[in-house]
Structure 1
Amino acid sequence: MALGYRKWVNWTVLILFSVVLAFCVSRFGVALSVVNGTSMQPTLHNGDRLLINKFKFTLQVPQRGEVVTFQDPHNQNRYLVKRVVGIPGDQIEIRDGKLFRNGKEIHEPYIDTPIEDGNYGPITVVPGTVFVMGDNRHRYASRDSRYDSVGLVPIKLVDGKVEFILWRPSLAAFL
């Protein structure tokens, strides 16, 4: 009887450990995500499967140029993916289709068009927030920090850094 009890306890401990480990990995480690929309084209495409590093921002804050996921400030059940273009203290401005940070034009090799939404700013990124933009700079293509529905994103809402595109559905047609 004692042997059966010990086996039951061992299985229970193993199951509890597995559940706790799975929770910790999904909460603080890595996650999978799917891109929904075109706001990050040409970098990310609708349907791309992404590997998200959730651990990175438990130790440091987002940096310029990183592609991050974050909780939508106006819909807690939705997550957005954008590129960080401004960190606390940066002054962001858009003039004549170009992005300026702290008065200097930013070279953005990841975009394929000038910014078509018109001039914006200047605005200073306040402490505890980041300024994000989608890589798709066509008119009205990205709901990002330029719009009141997103605004400056509190760092506490940043969920993780996009590390890899695991799979792109458009490539499946060639299989």
Structure 2
Amino acid sequence: METGRQPSMSTRPWFASSLRVLVRESFETIILALLVFMVLHLSIQNYKVEGPSMEPTLNQNEYLIVNKLVYLRFDPAEVIDALPFYDGGADETDRYIFHPPVRGEVVVFRSPRDQSRDFVKRVIGLPGETVEIVNGTVYVNGLELVEPYLDGKDNTTMAPVQVDQGTVFVLGDNRGASNDSRSWGPVPTENLIGRAWMRFWPLDHLGVL
């Protein structure tokens, strides 16, 4: 007659199974977190306003959220080249997945003169247009541009500038204190980082731009 009890092994499979579930769920959580981080990194970025060039719209030390996807482009030629039996005949210029820059939008971009510096300005002139400034009044293709976002005008005068394809003409809202396309010409659209979408700091200035 057996008087002792044999050690139970039933807990070991349960423990191993639970450990596998824990490892799998932890791995899935890490992968999901990495995917969320990558999506956020690729789609938005924060930007700190430096200087008075966009006053009164934006002020020193305000923080913005920049939409980096809005001006995302693709090259149809690369897609077309991958298609079998294609022998040309289509417009193969770059296209925007969402939409190209629009006049009046506030954008963040890499400086044409120093790629390590980012600026925030407003889009004024679009590809193919002519921009001229007479005593502080902006004319686009000979028509006066209404600018309700300005807090007064300066007396700037600028000879007509042709905005080439693949570029945009930008100005700061505070014309008297802005280094912009009047100094270094239109900005290549490839320099655009994105559209300034929202101001999130300080909280009392929170809002969509």
TM-score, reference length from structure 1: 0.85
Q: Measure the CA separation in 1 of the matches of 2:31 and 2:203.
A: 36
Do structure 1's residue 121 and structure 2's residue 159 form an aligned pair?
Answer: yes
Do structure 1's residue 88 and structure 2's residue 127 form an aligned pair?
Answer: yes
Which of residues 16, 19, 33 is equivalent to 1:4?
Answer: 19
Q: Percent of aligned positions with the same letter in both sequences? A: 36
Give 1:19's aligned residue: 34
Task: Encode CA deviations 1:95-145: one digit per residue, 9 max, x unaligned.
Answer: 1221110001111111122234x321211111111000000011xx11111
Structure 2 residue identity aligned to 1:73:
P
Structure 1 segments of 4+ aligned residues over 4 angstroms from their partners: none
Q: Measure the CA separation in 2 of the matches of 1:81 and 1:123.
A: 21
CA shift at 1:5, angstroms?
3.8
CA shift at 1:9, angstroms?
3.5
CA shift at 1:43, angstroms?
0.7
Which stretch has the larger CA shift, 67-76 or 91-100? 67-76
Provide the aligned C-alpha RMSD in A.
1.9
Q: Measure the CA separation in 2 of the matches of 1:77 and 1:34.
A: 15
Give 1:104's aligned residue: 143
Give 1:45's aligned residue: 59
Equivalent pair of 1:113/1:137 in contact (CA under 8 Å): no
Gaps of 5+ in 2: 1-15, 73-97
Tell me the number of residue pairs that the alignment of Structure 1 and Structure 2 aligns.
165
Equivalent pair of 1:40/1:81 in contact (CA under 8 Å): yes
Task: Encode CA deviations 1:35-57: one digit per residue, 9 max, x unaligned.
Answer: 11110001100011212222222
Task: Encode CA deviations 1:61-109: one digit per residue, 9 max, x unaligned.
Answer: 1100001111122322321100000110110001122111000111111
Which of residues 163, 178, 191 is equivalent to 1:157?
Answer: 191
Do structure 1's residue 137 and structure 2's residue 171 form an aligned pair?
Answer: no
Gaps of 5+ in 1: none
Equivalent pair of 1:45/1:168 in contact (CA under 8 Å): no
The 3 A distance-change label for structure 1 pair 19 and 76 is: farther
CA shift at 1:167, angstroms?
2.4
Flag the structure with larger Rg: 2
TM-score, reference length from structure 2: 0.72
Q: Measure the CA separation in 1 of the matches of 2:21 and 2:187.
A: 51
Equivalent pair of 1:33/1:49 in contact (CA under 8 Å): yes
Higher normalized contact order (CA 8 Å, seq sep 6+, divided by chain length): 1
